[in-house]
């Protein structure tokens, strides 16, 4: 018998206002991240694709934000980029290979589950496959983040992961694949050590979870 889906706290679906976005952007810049603030997903896609060098390996982390913005499609299917996923082909049931696939690309693209107004990025994961390149494996990391992911602080960000992002992912996996999810690992990015490595694209639209 399948366990009931966890309850979604829909208060975390509300997009941040301009003042909150500005506070988060300023704090992230103070923490050595590059920040771009754009209006729409189309703007985000055009910007991200312009930032990715065609000759460098790029890994698209599993992300509804990347899927909905069609960034994943552009990177992995257009043939215009050096996609890690495309080069790897079908890994079948080799879970270990799937987890290790994107550990050390030149560029990783993805999203996060929360951005605090004091400049922290928070990411939850079951396997942790995207956390290695996010933290240090990739030479450059680019995250596209919807306005509803802005939270006041890290404690609220952790609640958002468990009470909104996880239930949403749980439902997505159940509906599409007949399986569920859990939080196995959480990464908190406080400050970027290397100039120009970490890039955050904040979108005024609501996208992803």
- Residues 6+ positions from 139 with CB-CB distance below 8 Å: 56, 106, 107, 197
107: left (phi over 0), alpha (psi -120 to 50) or beta: beta
- pLDDT of 167 reads 95
Q: Which alpha helices (H) appear in 136-195, and where do they start and end?
A: 154-160, 166-177
In degrees to the nearest 10, what's the CA dihedral of 123, 124, 130, 133?
Answer: 40
Note the pLDDT tens digit of each residue in 21-61: 999 999 999 999 999 999 999 999 999 999 999 999 999 99
* Residue 104: pLDDT band with limits 50, 70, 90: confident
- Give yes or no for a contact between 64 and 130, defined as CB atoms under 8 angstroms apart: no
Q: For residues 158 and 124, is the Cβ–Cβ distance under 8 A? A: no
* pTM of the shown model: 0.93
Whether the predicted pLDDT of 148 surpasses 70: yes
Contact 162, 151 (CB under 8 A): no
Question: Taking residues 68-78, what's their average pLDDT?
Answer: 96
Tell me the pLDDT band of 99, cut-offs 50, 70 and 90.
low
Q: 15: pLDDT confidence band, cut at 50, 70 and 90?
A: very high
């Amino acid at each position: 018998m399948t366990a009931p889906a966890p309850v979604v706290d829909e208060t975390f679906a509300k997009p941040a206002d301009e003042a909150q976005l500005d506070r988060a952007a300023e704090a992230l810049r103070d923490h050595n991240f590059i920040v771009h603030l754009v209006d729409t997903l189309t703007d985000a896609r055009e910007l991200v694709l312009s930032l990715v060098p065609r000759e460098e390996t790029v890994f698209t982390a599993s992300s509804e934000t990347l899927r909905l913005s069609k960034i994943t499609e552009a990177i992995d299917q257009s043939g215009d980029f050096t996609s890690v996923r495309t080069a790897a082909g079908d890994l079948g049931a080799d879970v270990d290979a799937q987890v290790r696939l994107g550990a050390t690309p030149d560029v990783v693209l993805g999203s996060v589950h929360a951005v605090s107004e004091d400049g922290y990025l928070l990411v939850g994961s079951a396997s942790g496959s995207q956390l290695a390149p996010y933290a240090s494996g990739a030479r450059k990391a680019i995250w596209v983040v919807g306005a509803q992911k802005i939270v006041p602080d890290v404690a609220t960000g952790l609640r958002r992961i468990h009470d909104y992002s996880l239930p949403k992912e749980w439902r997505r996996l159940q509906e599409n694949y007949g399986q569920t999810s859990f939080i196995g690992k959480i990464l908190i990015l406080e400050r970027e050590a290397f100039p120009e490595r970490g890039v955050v694209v904040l979108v005024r639209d609501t996208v992803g979870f």
